């Protein structure tokens, strides 16, 4: 009897367990399915919402030649829809980087230049937090935090034309980055890079030679005197060793941005430069004098021949 009861209990428990598992699977399956559907539906919905906002903004900002006058300067407010759509952020609403603008119509708090870059920086930070954290430690980032004139995200990456880093059209692509730095850094630094081994190679499209960012970094650029800088005396060997694997001792010790005329900073270079100038002058003088003496000799020769043939001619005619 008791055996029968036990059998029944077991049967109830087992079938109860079976039904529970069955129900859990069905319900979670339905839930999961709904979740997937909702996600896709929401994604479609949000990209459609973005498209709607963008069309609204582009009604005015898609107009070629749309400008505003500020401090006597014409500022272009035109945003090319085609360029924007091709950029990495092309499916985002304009308001991801310019929040609140859709409600602020006509815009009352318009700012431009560095002030606008400063505003947008916070939005870049919302999605690129790790990069921005690095950036905040750099010379450029510290000046940005102080609201000063400096390189903001948009200065090195563009605003509505941000492309992937391996795209040759990107303004921060390896072969373009030195031109981008050159927008703000000119003079000695650029001149010396242009004529350096690296600069010349990069100019010819050689992607393996060092660019500004290989030696200085991109989001962690520090002043050369800062011991943490990639180009400080102590870190320089490691920086060069990224590419110069078997460099001799002292390879990294030389000055980088230095012209031969700079006697104080680079005496050996200055001396070599002077010796070369003397050699070149000597060489020109030597080669030049050879040519001149040879010319004189030849002219004399011509006169001799003329004299000779003249006397013969008279002889024949007589
Ligand atoms: C990824 C972020 C980002 C998105 C998305 C974005 N912008 Fe911008 N926008 C910027 C930055 C950065 C600047 C500042 C550029 C500068 O000062 O050089 C800017 C500047 C502007 C300006 C001022 C004029 C100028 O070009 O400097 C206008 C107008 C503008 N954006 C409109 C738009 C419109 C319209 C859209 C959508 C089609 C859009 N933005 C989407 C980042 C963005
Ligand atoms: C009815 C036309 C119109 C529409 C629509 C419009 N804007 Fe503007 N926008 C302007 C004008 C005009 C200015 C210049 C305002 C000024 O300098 O006082 C401007 C300036 C801007 C600037 C630069 C100034 C700043 O402080 O940011 C940005 C960025 C901008 N608009 C973004 C947008 C975005 C994003 C949208 C869509 C949500 C949008 N605009 C929709 C007319 C328009
Ligand atoms: C001084 C120039 C400069 C500034 C300022 C700058 N970047 Fe960059 N950034 C670069 C360079 C150069 C690279 C390319 C690195 C490479 O080719 O590997 C890069 C790469 C990136 C990448 C892609 C690769 C990665 O490291 O994840 C992102 C995202 C990025 N930057 C975002 C930002 C944001 C956001 C800001 C502002 C907080 C910013 N950058 C400021 C120069 C700059
Ligand atoms: C709404 C979030 C969002 C905002 C705001 C945003 N980004 Fe991005 N960004 C992305 C995503 C997502 C990608 C990757 C796109 C892809 O892989 O196609 C990306 C890609 C990039 C890349 C290319 C990275 C690579 O690997 O080549 C750069 C550079 C970049 N963003 C810079 C910026 C800058 C500068 C700003 C501010 C002006 C900004 N982003 C604002 C989300 C954002
Ligand atoms: C939008 C302008 C701008 C751009 C673009 C820019 N910088 Fe700068 N940079 C500055 C300003 C401003 C300072 C601070 C003033 C100074 O010290 O010259 C600075 C400082 C520096 C310093 C520290 C100089 C020192 O010893 O004090 C280095 C190194 C540097 N930048 C390298 C770069 C490199 C490399 C790039 C390109 C990847 C770049 N910068 C792009 C504006 C810019
Ligand atoms: C991103 C890679 C890279 C980095 C970083 C780099 N170089 Fe170069 N460098 C090259 C390439 C590539 C060449 C040309 C090929 C060659 O001759 O080896 C070159 C050539 C040179 C040359 C002339 C030819 C030679 O091999 O002697 C000198 C000098 C030089 N580099 C010095 C330096 C110094 C000093 C540093 C560090 C401050 C440095 N480089 C960092 C890639 C780099
Ligand atoms: C091969 C490595 C290398 C490359 C490439 C390079 N630099 Fe430098 N940079 C250095 C070193 C090392 C210093 C430290 C001072 C010196 O040696 O001239 C320096 C110093 C600087 C300084 C500070 C100068 C000062 O007087 O305080 C700036 C700004 C700078 N570089 C910008 C750039 C820019 C912009 C580019 C690209 C056009 C670039 N550098 C390319 C290695 C490099």
Torsion of CA 200, 182, 77, 122, to 10 degrees: 120
pLDDT band for position 261 (cuts 50, 70, 90): confident
Residue 219 CA to ligand 5 centre (angstroms): 11
Residues 6+ apart with CB under 8 A from 83: 160, 161
Residue 133 CA to ligand 4 centre (angstroms): 15
Q: Say what percent of the chain tops pLDDT 70.
A: 85
Residues 6+ apart with CB under 8 A from 294: none
Mutate to test the pocket of ligand 3, among 140, 215, 218 (most ligand atoms within 8 A of CB): 218
Q: What is the pLDDT at residue 252?
A: 80
Higher pLDDT among residues 285 and 318, named by residue: 285
Statement: residue 6 has pLDDT above 50: yes
Q: What is the DSSP string of 231-287?
A: TSTTTHHHHHHTT-TTPPTTGGGS-SS--TT-TTT-HHHHHHHHHHHHHHHHHHHHH
Count the residues in the chain.
318
Range scoring the smallest mean pLDDT among 117-131, 278-292, 293-307: 293-307
* 29: helix, strand or coil: helix
Look at the block and give the residue holding tokens 């009604």. Answer: 59
Q: What is the pLDDT at residue 49?
A: 86
Statement: residue 216 has pLDDT above 80: yes
Residue 267 CA to ligand 5 centre (angstroms): 27
Mean pLDDT of 6-20: 70
Ligand 5, pocket residues at CB < 6 Å:
139-140, 143, 149-151, 155-156, 177, 180-181, 183-185, 212-213, 216, 221, 223-224
Cα separation, 41 vs 47, in Å, equals: 10
Mean pLDDT of 238-265: 84
Question: How far from 150 is each of 153, 158, 167, 210, 284, CA to CA, in Å?
Answer: 10, 15, 25, 23, 48
Cα-Cα-Cα-Cα dihedral sign, residues 232, 172, 200, 242: positive
Ligand 6, pocket residues at CB < 6 Å:
197-198, 201, 208-210, 214-215, 236, 239-240, 242-244, 251-252, 256
Statement: residue 8 has pLDDT above 80: no
Q: What is the pLDDT at residue 22?
A: 67
Residues 6+ apart with CB under 8 A from 283: none
Reported as a single tens digit per residue, the pLDDT across 189-206 is 898 998 899 999 999 999
Q: Which helix (H) or strand (E) holds 197?
A: helix 197-203
> What are the structural domain ranges in the chain?
40-110, 111-153
Quick check: CB of 124 below 6 Å from ligand 4?
yes
Reported as a single tens digit per residue, the pLDDT across 30-70 is 655 555 554 444 444 577 888 889 999 999 999 999 998 88
Question: How far from 274 is each of 181, 254, 261, 287, CA to CA, in Å?
Answer: 32, 19, 9, 20
Range scoring the smallest mean pLDDT among 56-60, 134-138, 261-265: 261-265
Statement: residue 126 has pLDDT above 50: yes
Residue 258 CA to ligand 2 centre (angstroms): 46
Please name which ligand lies nearest the alpha carbon of 159: 1
Residue 75 CA to ligand 1 centre (angstroms): 12
Quick check: CB of 181 below 6 Å from ligand 7?
yes
The angle at the Cα of 150, spanning 148 to 153, to the nearest 5 degrees, equals: 115
Residue 222 burial (CB < 10 Å; 0-12/13-18/19+)? Answer: buried
Residue 285 CA to ligand 5 centre (angstroms): 45
* 74: helix, strand or coil: strand
Higher pLDDT among residues 177 and 37, named by residue: 177
Statement: residue 183 has pLDDT above 90: yes
Statement: residue 310 has pLDDT above 70: no
* 68: helix, strand or coil: strand
CA 254 to chain centre: 26
The answer to whether the beta carbons of residues 243 and 208 sit under 8 Å apart is yes
Residues 6+ apart with CB under 8 A from 259: 188, 191, 192
Which residue's C-alpha comes closest to atom 43 of ligand 2? 60
Residue 243 CA to ligand 6 centre (angstroms): 7
Higher pLDDT among residues 46 and 280, named by residue: 280
Give me the residues paired with residue 70 across strands: 73
Reported as a single tens digit per residue, the pLDDT across 90-125 is 999 999 999 988 888 888 888 888 889 999 999 999
Number of H helices, E strands in the chain: 12, 2
Look at the block and give the residue holding tokens 């024949």. Answer: 316
Q: What is the pLDDT at residue 43?
A: 46
Terminal C-alpha separation, the chain:
167
Report CA Rg, the chain.
Answer: 37
**Tokens of residue 38, six digits:** 């909702």
Q: What is the pLDDT at residue 44?
A: 46
pLDDT band for position 185 (cuts 50, 70, 90): very high
Mean pLDDT of 128-154: 94
């Amino acid at each position: 009897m008791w055996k029968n009861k036990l059998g029944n209990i077991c049967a109830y428990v087992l079938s109860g367990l079976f039904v529970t598992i069955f129900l859990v699977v069905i319900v979670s399956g339905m839930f999961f399915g709904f979740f997937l559907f909702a996600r896709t539906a929401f994604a479609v919905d949000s990209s459609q919402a973005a498209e709607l906002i963008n069309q609204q903004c582009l009604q005015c900002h898609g107009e070629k030649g749309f400008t505003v006058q500020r401090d006597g300067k014409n500022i272009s407010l035109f945003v090319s829809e085609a360029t924007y759509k091709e950029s990495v952020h092309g499916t985002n609403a304009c308001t991801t980087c310019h929040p609140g603008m859709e409600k602020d119509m006509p815009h009352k708090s318009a700012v431009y230049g560095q002030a606008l870059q400063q505003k947008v920086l916070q939005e870049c930070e919302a999605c690129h937090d790790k990069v921005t954290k690095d950036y905040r430690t750099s010379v450029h980032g510290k000046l940005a935090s102080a609201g000063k004139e400096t390189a903001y995200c948009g200065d090195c990456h563009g605003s509505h034309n941000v492309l992937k880093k391996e795209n040759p059209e990107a303004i921060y692509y390896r072969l373009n980055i030195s031109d981008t730095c050159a927008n703000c850094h000119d003079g000695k630094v650029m001149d010396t890079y242009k004529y350096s081994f690296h600069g010349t190679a990069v100019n010819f499209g050689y992607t393996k030679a060092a660019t500004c960012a290989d030696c200085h970094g991109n989001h962690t650029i520090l002043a050369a005197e800062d011991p943490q800088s990639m180009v400080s005396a102590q870190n320089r060997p490691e920086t060069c060793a990224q590419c110069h694997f078997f460099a001799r001792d002292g390879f990294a010790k030389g000055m980088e941005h230095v012209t031969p005329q700079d006697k104080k900073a680079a005496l050996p270079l200055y001396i070599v430069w002077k010796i070369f100038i003397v050699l070149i002058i000597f060489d020109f003088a030597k080669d030049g004098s050879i040519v001149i003496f040879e010319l004189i000799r030849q002219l004399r020769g011509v006169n001799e021949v003329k004299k000779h043939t003249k006397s013969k001619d008279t002889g024949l005619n007589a």
